[in-house]
Structures are given as structure tokens and as C-alpha cells.
Amino acid sequence: MQTIRHIRIGNGYDVHRLAAGLDFWLGGCRITHTKGCVAHSDGDVLIHALCDALLGAAALRDIGVHFPDTSSTYKSIDSKKILAETMTLVRAEGYEVGNVDTVVCLQSPKIAAYIPEMRQTLAGVMRVSETQISIKATTTEGLGFEGREEGVSAYAVVLLTK
Ligand code: MG
């Protein structure tokens, strides 16, 4: 049995603007929608919040430090690659993931039907069990930028152990 010496918590938050005619990527999956996220990368807010939570738990700064949006390397990059690289950084410090809990805030479309695919996708990229990954969704009752469908936000908390 693993003896846990360190338990670390991290949190992450991300926002992207929505615009018509762009692909909408969330949790590593393509969502059918009339809008998508405006971003240097593919604009996957859920993965970006998750990466910041992972980096935060390991005190490894933030996603902007490791994957700058001024770098052509990350132009239109599949955020699953950013997540895989983030996991490499976290594991290099000796950490393993305990669990991940996330919330996506958007008014539409409903994403409940995509959540099983997102969990499976993220678990595969992170090389953890789906049971360690929770994805929740909420509207903001029409309030704020999410409610006006101008943007989407995501929150993530992560527990790391070693
Ligand atoms: Mg982002």
C-alpha cells in the first residue's frame, strides 16, 4: 500500500469568449454548437482550468508560464496536448492525482450528454481512472457573461498525492 507523505490541493479558473462559427471544444471533446471559443489554442476552458489546478497543486506556476499564448508553438494547439504535458510536469515532481472536480458554467447548449465522453477522454490523457474525474455543468440563470452567451467559464479543483 502506498504511504502518502504529501497531500496538495490546487484550483484553476478559465474563461473564453464565444463567437459564431468556431469549433467548440470542451473537456477534450467537440461539442455541437453554433459558437466556439475565441483563443490562441483550441480554447478548451475546462482543460485550461484543470491544467491550472494541477500546476497550482504542485506549485508550478500557471498555464501561461508553461504554454504562453504568444508562442507560435501553441497556436491552435489541441488542449489535450497541454494537459498531457502538464501531467508530465506534475509527475516529474513525484505527484499522482487523487481526484479532480470541475464545474463548467455556460448557458447553452446543455452538455450533460457529453460528460461521459469528456470523463473518458480526460482520464485517458491523464492516465487516471474515470472515477477520479468529476465534471459538472451549470447555467448562470441568464446572469453575467455566461448567461448572455458571450463566454464560457470553468472551475477546477485537484488533489495531488505523493
Ligand atoms: Mg484558456
Find the mean pLDDT for residues 11-31.
Answer: 96
Residue 23 lies in a domain: yes
Centre of ligand 1 from the C-alpha of residue 83, in Å: 12
Rounded to whole angstroms, how far apart are CA atoms 52 and 134? 16
pLDDT tens digits, one per residue of 127-158: 999 999 999 999 999 999 999 999 999 999 99
CB 104 within 8 A of CB 50: no
Rounded to whole angstroms, how far apart are CA atoms 44 and 114? 14
Degrees to nearest 5, angle at CA 57 with 55 and 63: 15
Task: Note down the domain range covering 149.
Answer: 7-161
Centre of ligand 1 from the C-alpha of residue 40, in Å: 8
- Cell reading at 106: 455556460
pLDDT band per the 50, 70, 90 thresholds, residue 72: confident
137: CB partners within 8 A, 6+ apart? 103, 104, 105, 106, 110, 111, 112, 115
Buried b (16+ CB within 10 A) or exposed e, 142-155: eeebbbeeebbbbb
| Residues pairing with 154 in the sheet | 14, 104
pLDDT tens digits, one per residue of 78-115: 999 999 999 999 999 999 999 999 999 999 999 999 99
- Cell reading at 60: 508550478
Is 90 exceeded by the pLDDT of residue 5? no
| Bond from prior residue into 109 cis (ω within 30 degrees of 0) | yes
- Cell reading at 86: 502538464
Centre of ligand 1 from the C-alpha of residue 75, in Å: 12
Residue 34 lies in a domain: yes
Centre of ligand 1 from the C-alpha of residue 154, in Å: 9
Is 80 exceeded by the pLDDT of residue 24? yes
Terminal alpha carbon distance of the chain:
12
Centre of ligand 1 from the C-alpha of residue 17, in Å: 10
> Global pTM?
0.95
Find the mean pLDDT for residues 28-50.
Answer: 94
Classify residue 110 by its DSSP letter. -
Residue 2 lies in a domain: no
pLDDT value of position 1: 63
Q: How many domains are there within the chain?
A: 1
Is 80 exceeded by the pLDDT of residue 14? yes
Residue 62 lies in a domain: yes
Centre of ligand 1 from the C-alpha of residue 151, in Å: 12
Residue 1 lies in a domain: no
Rounded to whole angstroms, how far apart are CA atoms 129 and 5? 22
Q: Could you tell me which residue, 67 or 54, shows the higher pLDDT?
A: 54
Find the mean pLDDT for residues 16-45.
Answer: 94
Supply the CATH number for residue 62's domain: 3.30.1330.50
